[in-house]
Homo-oligomer: A and B are copies of this chain.
Amino acid sequence: MLCHAVLMGSKQCHAMPRQAVPCHARQCRAMHGGTVPCQALLYLSTSLAGGKRDTDLILPINSSLSVTLHQDQLRTTTTAAACRDFTEDRLWLNGEEVDAGQPRLQACLREVRRLARKRRGDDAAAPLSLSYKVHVASENNFPTAAGLASSAAGYACLVSALARLYGVEGELSEVARRGSGSACRSMLGGFVQWHRGERPDGKDSVAQQLAPETHWPELSVLVLVVSGEKKAVGSTAGMQTSVDTSPLLKYRAEMVVPERMTRMARCIQDRDFEAFGQLTMQDSNQFHATCLDTFPPIFYLNDISQRIIALAHRFNAHHGRTKVAYTFDAGPNAVIFMLEDTVDEFVEVVRRSFPPNSNGDQFLRGRPVGTAVLPEELVSAVVVDPVPGAIRYILHTKPGPGPQLLDDPSQHLLGPDGLPCRSA
Contacts and interface: CB of A to CB of B under 8 A. Distances in A.
Interface in A289-321: 289-290, 292-297, 299, 301-303, 306, 309-310, 313
A132 B384 CA distance: 45
Given A247-B256, A248-B251, A251-B251, A295 B285 contact: yes
Interface in A206-249: 232, 245, 247-248
A15 to B, nearest CB: 48
A293 B297 contact: no
A252 interface: yes
B310 A232 contact: yes
Number of copies: 2
A256 B248 CA distance: 9
Interface residues of A, number: 30
A297 B326 CA distance: 12
B310 A295 contact: no
Contacts of A288: 292
Nearest to A284: B297
B289 A293 contact: yes
A282 interface: yes
A144 interface: no
Given A247-B255, A248-B248, A285-B294, 17 more contacts: A232-B310, A245-B282, A247-B256, A247-B286, A248-B251, A248-B252, A248-B286, A248-B293, A251-B251, A278-B295, A285-B297, A286-B293, A289-B290, A292-B292, A296-B313, A299-B301, A302-B306
